[in-house]
Copies of this chain bind each other. A is one copy, B any other.
Amino acid sequence: ATAGISSSDFRDAIDSSLFRNWLRNLESESGILADGSMTLKQVLIQGVDMFGKRIGFLKFKADIFDKETGQKVPGIVFARGPAVAVLILLESDGETYAVLTEQVRVPTGKIVLELPAGMLDDDKGDFVGTAVREVEEEIGIKLKKEDMVDLTAFLDPSTGYRIFPSPGGCDEEMSVFLYRGQVEKETIRQLQGKETGLREHGEFIKVRLIPYRELWRKTADAKVLMSIGLYEMAQREGLVSSQRLKPNS
């Protein structure tokens, strides 16, 4: 570990599900070490960010070499683990609205309009449970797991049914869910501009509703465009019916 990392932080880092998951990926079927052409020589733990008692983010440098040429491949990793995002489409009065969050995003320096999303808090891999919980925290509506369509489940098995938002620097892998429902005009009115988020976690979120047909141009969020790509192509292949909306409670 680099200077400044305590021995207890170092041990926690090595034992963390973030690091173990990364090692598991290395040795998986589409893993870097799978065909034996590469070798992992060393890992340098550079940074540990705690979220309370739990490791939130890890930063490390892995020295991985191509056996044939002896050449090292770029190995800097910002590890934050798996996450989920939800494309919520509410139909009301013939218009379909996407439900978004608007919040401060310090890494970008800006206030960003995004799909409701969040990281998995533990290593149980409950993606759909996290999706339902994040929507409740960020939008304030209670969805049912069975109403959630996993758009990433349509992907080829070789992908592991997950998407890498930024594979050049970050381990993040994401599932994207779709929820569609019919609601009263009043629900749309109540949701628009609603203030939500876990204040004690420093979440200051405003809910924004945007007509789906305009959505693709309205945000700088990759999750939005990813979900549109998945949703449009899944509809084109009849994997998701064009208009199978369920009235809400």
Contact = CB atoms under 8 A, between A and B. Distances in A.
A108 B201 CA distance: 28
A31 to B, nearest CB: 6
Interface stretch (A65-73, A89-97, A135-143, A183-191): A65-73
A244 interface: no
A226 interface: yes
**Category for how many chain A residues contact B:** 35 or more
Contacts of A104: 32, 38, 64, 73
A109 B171 contact: yes
A62 B202 CA distance: 13
A143 to B, nearest CB: 21
A66 B217 contact: no
B228 A107 contact: no
A145 interface: no
A24 B119 CA distance: 28
A217 B164 contact: no
Given A201-B74, A217-B155, A24 B169 contact: no
Which residue among A168, A217, A221, A230 has the maximum number of chain B CB atoms within 10 Å of its CB? Answer: A168
A30 interface: yes
B106 A79 contact: no
